């Protein structure tokens, strides 16, 4: 990173498959949620990464993604996740309905217990990481499980919440209030903007979608998303053209090199100033310790 003059390490710490982070307040998250006993970070790992980054002028921004991508959280704290009803009310909870949803998934936004856990956990995260920003994720929070659960529908009715995007908005507001109460700012993926969820103007948004990265016809060109995010007045970081794990035949570097993050608008400089930079991401479904360094 220092060779390439990259000055922020966005550390995607946890996901559906694993919770390797060594929480002091919820040690069972690592005990039960890590991929294996050998796939856990130690306290020394965390402090060493932050220290080595600082010596090279690199900030470390951790990402703890919610409300989706949280299956591993439920291994230790099952009450956090939403029970899915796959066969309607007669079938009972914890019934998968593939490919729409599993047996339990996506953090339950209607339980006060959820916010008690998040209050404690994010307080710990802010203490552990000195950077002013924490990445909150908020991507790919699919609503199918929420829709299957009649208790959530009843809660929404009692709280005058009309649809599931507004329920997601309620969760985001509660979470961002928690994070800011601990003195941190936050980064999010673009998904809430795509769903027209109301988010604070202070949100720093990362654009990750692009027609090159997804299945044919699924996504628009990245310029479309950059225009949508900046039109709402949000500061933005562009990531989608530089997904290093998306391999094509030929010279990928040519495509990476010609991208200019501000080339999406002809408007005045105030819009261009909302662009904070770019981000090169590498996701590791098909990458491990044998090939990650030469690829990057």
Catalytic machinery residues: 140
**To which H or E segment does residue 23 belong?**
none
C-alpha 259/C-alpha 110 separation (Å) is: 42
* Closest C-alpha to 104, from 77, 84, 87: 84
Q: For residue 60, what are the β-bridge partners?
A: 9
238 HSE (CA, 13 A, CB side): 24
The residue behind tokens 């929420």 is 146
Structure token pair of residue 132: 């002013």
List helix spans (H) across 16-111: 27-33, 43-55
Tokens of 135: 């990445």
CA angle 92, 95, 100 (to 5 degrees): 130
3-state secondary structure of 201: coil
CA distance 80 to 67: 10
Identify whether the C-beta of residue 39 lies closer than 8 Å to the C-beta of residue 13. no
């Amino acid at each position: 990173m220092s060779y390439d003059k990259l000055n922020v390490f966005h550390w995607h710490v946890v996901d559906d498959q694993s919770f390797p982070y060594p929480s002091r307040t919820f040690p069972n998250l690592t005990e039960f949620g890590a991929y294996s006993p050998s796939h856990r970070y130690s306290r020394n790992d965390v402090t060493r990464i932050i220290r080595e980054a600082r010596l090279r002028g690199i900030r470390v921004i951790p990402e703890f993604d919610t409300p989706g991508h949280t299956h591993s959280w439920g291994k230790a704290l099952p009450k956090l996740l939403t029970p899915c009803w796959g066969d309607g009310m007669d079938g009972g909870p914890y019934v998968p309905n593939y490919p729409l949803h599993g047996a339990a998934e996506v953090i339950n936004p209607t339980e006060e217990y959820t916010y008690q856990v998040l209050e404690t956990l994010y307080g710990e995260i802010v203490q552990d990481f000195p950077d002013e920003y924490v990445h909150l994720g908020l991507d790919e929070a699919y609503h199918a499980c929420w829709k299957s659960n009649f208790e959530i529908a009843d809660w929404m009715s009692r709280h005058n919440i009309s649809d599931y995007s507004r329920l997601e908005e309620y969760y985001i507001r509660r979470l961002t209030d928690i994070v800011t109460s601990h003195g941190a700012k936050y980064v999010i993926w673009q998904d809430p903007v795509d769903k027209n969820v109301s988010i604070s103007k202070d949100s720093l948004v990362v654009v990750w979608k692009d027609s090159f990265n997804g299945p044919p016809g699924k996504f628009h060109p990245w310029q479309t998303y950059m225009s949508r995010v900046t039109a709402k007045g949000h500061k933005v970081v562009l990531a989608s053209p530089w997904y290093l794990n998306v391999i094509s035949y030929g010279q990928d570097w040519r495509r990476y090199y010609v991208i200019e993050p501000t080339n999406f608008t002809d408007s005045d400089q105030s819009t261009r100033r909302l662009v904070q930079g770019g981000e090169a991401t590498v996701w590791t479904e098909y990458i491990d310790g044998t090939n990650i360094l030469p690829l990057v």
